[in-house]
Amino acid sequence: MWSEVSAWLLAALMTRPSIRRTNRSIPWGYTQNPDDNMLFDPLEDHLDAYDQAKEYIKQGCSYRDTAKWLSATTESFITHVGLFLKMKKEKKKVLSLRAKKASLMKYYPELFETDDA
């Protein structure tokens, strides 16, 4: 059963859905949906470049240099502090999902049993 859930989760993570408005600002890498002003649509080229920027950070590049590269590549300005905060927020979400998975594993271990019998 877990393989079905993980396949669905992987498919959901590979697509970039529209996100719901939570405040007045438009998140970097998104544009306002023309039909619904409460939704933001992803800009694929911006988010692909952002994924590449995360790899640069992991390799040891500074946030300042990576933000300059990202701004030049996408022609959409982002500061080094904005990049840092965006990455920090994303990491917080990942940690929250891991905690939820651990809780599910504790209370519903049958979901994570493999069918390799």
Cut 0.75: pTM above it: no
Residue predicted with more confidence, 44 or 3: 44
* CA dist., res. 69 & res. 53, Å (int): 8
Is the model's pLDDT at 11 over the cut of 70? no
Q: What angle do CA 105, 108, 114 make, to 5 degrees?
A: 75
Name which residue leads in pLDDT, 64 or 114.
64
Task: Tell me the C-alpha distance between 72 and 37, whole Å.
Answer: 28
pLDDT in the model for residue 108: 82
pLDDT digit string, tens, across residues 32-91: 999 999 999 999 999 999 999 999 999 999 999 999 999 999 999 999 999 999 999 888
Q: Tokens 């498919």 correspond to what residue?
A: 11
Q: How far apart are CA 53 and CA 62, in angstroms?
A: 10
Residues 6+ apart with CB under 8 A from 21: 37, 38, 39, 40
Can you tell me the mean pLDDT for 15-42? 89
For the chain, the structural domain boundaries read 44-112
* C-alpha span between 27 and 19 (Å, rounded): 9
